Amino acid sequence: MSSRILVTIVIDAENLTKNFGNLTAVEDLTLHVDEGEVFGFLGPNGAGKTTTVRMLCCLISKTSGSAKVGGYEIGNKEDSLKIRKIIGLVPDNVGLSEHLTAYDNLDFYGKIYDCTDAERKENIRRFLDMLGLWDKRNVLAGTLSKGMKQKLAIARALIHDPDVLFMDEPTANLDPESATTVREFILELKKEKKTIFLNTHNLDEAQRICDKIAILNTKLVVMGTPDYLEQAVKGRKTVITLEQTSDKILNALSKLSLKNLEHKNHTLSFDVADPESQNWKVVEAIVLAGGHVTTVDVVGSTLEDVYLKLVRESE
């Protein structure tokens, strides 16, 4: 069923902009997402994440710029239909037909995508099984729990085995167990080389499952791997706990020109750009000055720190 994508870059946007009247929702967004990548799209409420997804899914028009999904141009009428064939969308509201059973919801979408009877049966069974919903197949969608509805919406988006999956806050409002199931399912899809564009507020989720992350606040703030983003903001601190501090130790450290060195009780902390190459020198200086090191920790500059810092700077 799946249409093969021959390009490596599956989503490629250049200066993509969307205005609603005088309001600019997305401005000059340039990003690319490679095949098989889980791409995390972060940003505060109203940053333009959903608008971006809607433009890329050809649900709304762009104001300017360009973007290709699977090699097809958004905004081109014929290509728009082709894009919608190779994508699946899990919107922020599940949008199920509540008076239809779980099975009928999926069967209806399978027919829309021209899946054969055999393909529909196979995919419905496969995805409902994977998401633990097969036993609920004959239950009306409206009576399912929130977590089950979310899983059913994911199954619906996958019923035609799309190459690209857009997910808008798929774990929002889910209990931890359901959220974990969804995250694990996303990682399963990644193994199948599906490209996943994940809108999320959940920084921990993004850090755990995304290969690349972009932070949007109307404009693109930053884009890179989770590790790259953490290092991009030089906010990491080394925290060293000693049995006892002394003037001799502090004098020895002052000669190392450590940034923002702080001393409180028996704990020393300082900013560090590259802990692996710098910390051993500090520990050596402490030991030579007669100190006894209890613990050495590198803290700070989590993705959350990066996110908050960059979003505030962009405002």
Partner 1 sequence: MRLSKAWLIARRDFKVFRRQKNIWYSIIIFPIIISVLFPTIIEFAGRSGRGLLSAANLPNLLDSFSFFIVIGAAYIPLGIASYSIVGEKIEKSLEPLLATPLTDGEILLGKAIAAMLPTLAAMYAGAAVFMVGIDAVTFGKLGYYYFPNWTFGVLLLVLVPVAVVMSVLYSIIVSSRVNDARSANSYGILIFLPFMAIYFASEIRIISLDITGFLIIAGILSAIDIALYFVSTAAFQREEILTKWK
- Site mask, partner 1, residues 63-92, x = CB under 8 A? ------------------x--xx-xxx-x-
Q: Which of 2, 93, 145, 246 binds partner 1 (CB under 8 A)?
A: 93
Q: Which is nearer to partner 1, 113 or 314 (CB)?
A: 113
Contact 10, 87 (CB under 8 A): no
Vertex 192 angle, CA 186 and 193, to 5°: 90
* Helix-strand-coil split of the chain, %, nearest 5: 40, 30, 30
Q: Is residue 137 involved in binding partner 1 (CB under 8 A)?
A: no
Residues 149-188 that bind partner 1 (CB under 8 A): 153, 156-157
Q: Which is nearer to partner 1, 20 or 228 (CB)?
A: 20
Shortest reach from residue 38's CB to partner 1, in Å:
20
Kind plus residue range of the DSSP H or E element containing 21: none
Residues 183-212 that bind partner 1 (CB under 8 A): none
Q: Which of 111, 146, 234, 292 binds partner 1 (CB under 8 A)?
A: 111
164-168 and 23-34 as β-strands: parallel, antiparallel, unpaired? unpaired
Give CA–CA dist 134/131, Å, rounded.
8
Shortest reach from residue 121's CB to partner 1, in Å:
17
Q: Which is nearer to partner 1, 111 or 292 (CB)?
A: 111
Give CA–CA dist 300/294, Å, rounded.
20
Q: Is residue 57 involved in binding partner 1 (CB under 8 A)?
A: yes
CA 204, 205, 209, 214 torsion: positive or negative?
Answer: negative
Q: Which of 1, 9, 59, 293 binds partner 1 (CB under 8 A)?
A: 59
Three-state secondary structure call for residue 25? strand
DSSP designation for 37: -
- Site mask, partner 1, residues 20-49, x = CB under 8 A? x-----------------------------
Three-state secondary structure call for residue 141? helix
Of 222, 237, 219, 225, the residue nearest 274 (C-alpha): 237
Q: Which of 103, 109, 197, 270 binds partner 1 (CB under 8 A)?
A: 109
The CA distances from residue 96 to 144, 165, 283, 293, 303, in Å, are 11, 17, 59, 59, 33
Tokens of 88: 């699946």
Shortest reach from residue 107's CB to partner 1, in Å:
9
Give CA–CA dist 295/315, Å, rounded.
38
Q: Which of 1, 100, 232, 250 binds partner 1 (CB under 8 A)?
A: 100
Q: Which is nearer to partner 1, 97 or 231 (CB)?
A: 97
Shortest reach from residue 80's CB to partner 1, in Å:
9
Spacing of C-alpha 206 from chain mean position = 4
Of 13, 20, 25, the residue nearest 65 (C-alpha): 13
Q: Which is nearer to partner 1, 103 or 307 (CB)?
A: 103
Shortest reach from residue 178's CB to partner 1, in Å:
19
Q: Which is nearer to partner 1, 53 or 310 (CB)?
A: 53
Binding residues for partner 1, per CB under 8 A? Answer: 20, 54, 57-61, 81, 84-85, 87-89, 91, 93-100, 104, 108-109, 111-113, 140, 153, 156-157
